[in-house]
C-alpha cells in the first residue's frame, strides 16, 4: 500500500455531495457557469426545501429576499408569483407575452453593471451565454457586428467604436454580454460600462 492509500484507509474522506441536476432554462442554459446560481445546502426561502442550488442574480421586487431562492422556485415561477418578482429588468425586441413571462419570471437573470436586459431575435428570447470581452468575441464576429450597429446608433465615430470594442474585457470593464438566437443561432451582444 502507498502512503496515500494507507492514509485514506486510516482517515477516510467523505464522498463529495452530489448536487441535484438543475432545471432546464432554455434562455440561460448554464446558470452555474455564469454565477447566477450557486451550490447551497440551506433551505430555499420560498419553498423551504433544500434543493442544492440557490439563485444569486438580481431580483426585481419590493419584498423579495436578496438571496436563497432555489432554482426550482425560479424555473416553476413560484418565486415570481409569491414575491411579484422578475429576474431581469427588461426584454428587448418584439416577442410574445409568453416569451416575456418565461424570461422575466422563470429564467435566472445575471448581474450586470447597469440594469441587465435580455436580447431577442426571430420572435424568441436569445440564450444568455455569459459575459465576454474582446478576446471572447473574436470567435463570434456576428456579435461584434451587432455591437457595431449599436454603437453606430449612438452616433459614435468609427474610430471610437473600434476602440470601444477593442477595450471590452470580461473580467473588468467595459464588458459585453453574449447571447445566441435559439432559432437561427446568430450571436448577439450588448456592451455595458459605467
Q: Each residue's pLDDT tens digit in the chain (194 positions)?
A: 566 666 666 666 666 667 788 999 999 999 999 999 999 999 999 999 999 999 999 999 988 887 899 999 999 999 999 999 999 989 998 999 999 999 999 999 999 888 889 999 999 999 999 999 999 999 999 999 999 998 888 888 889 889 989 999 998 889 999 999 999 999 999 998 76
CA 2 vs CA 7, 8, 13, 78, 98: distances in Å: 9, 10, 16, 52, 60
pTM of the model: 0.86
Beta strand 127-132 with 124-125 is: unpaired
How does DSSP classify residue 60?
Answer: B
Residue 92, classified by CB atoms within 10 Å of its CB into exposed (0-12), middle (13-18) or buried (19+), is: middle
Position 12 scores a pLDDT of: 65
Amino acid at each position: 500500500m502507498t502512503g496515500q492509500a494507507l492514509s485514506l484507509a486510516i482517515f477516510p474522506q467523505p464522498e463529495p455531495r452530489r448536487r441535484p441536476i438543475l432545471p432546464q432554462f432554455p434562455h440561460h442554459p448554464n446558470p452555474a457557469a455564469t454565477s447566477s446560481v450557486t451550490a447551497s445546502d440551506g433551505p430555499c426561502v420560498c419553498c423551504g426545501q433544500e434543493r442544492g442550488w440557490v439563485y444569486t442574480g438580481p431580483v426585481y421586487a419590493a419584498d423579495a429576499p436578496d438571496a436563497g431562492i432555489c432554482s426550482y422556485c425560479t424555473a416553476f415561477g413560484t418565486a415570481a408569483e409569491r414575491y411579484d418578482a422578475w429576474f431581469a429588468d427588461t426584454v428587448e425586441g418584439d416577442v410574445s407575452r409568453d416569451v416575456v413571462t418565461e424570461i422575466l419570471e422563470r429564467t435566472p437573470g445575471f448581474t450586470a453593471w447597469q440594469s441587465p436586459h435580455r436580447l431577442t431575435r426571430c420572435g424568441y428570447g436569445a440564450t444568455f451565454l455569459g459575459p465576454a470581452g474582446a478576446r471572447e468575441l473574436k470567435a463570434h464576429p456576428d456579435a461584434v457586428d451587432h455591437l457595431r450597429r449599436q454603437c453606430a446608433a449612438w452616433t459614435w465615430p468609427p474610430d471610437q467604436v473600434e476602440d470601444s470594442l477593442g477595450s471590452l474585457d470580461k473580467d473588468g470593464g467595459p464588458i459585453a454580454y453574449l447571447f445566441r438566437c435559439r432559432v437561427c443561432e446568430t450571436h448577439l451582444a450588448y456592451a455595458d460600462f459605467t
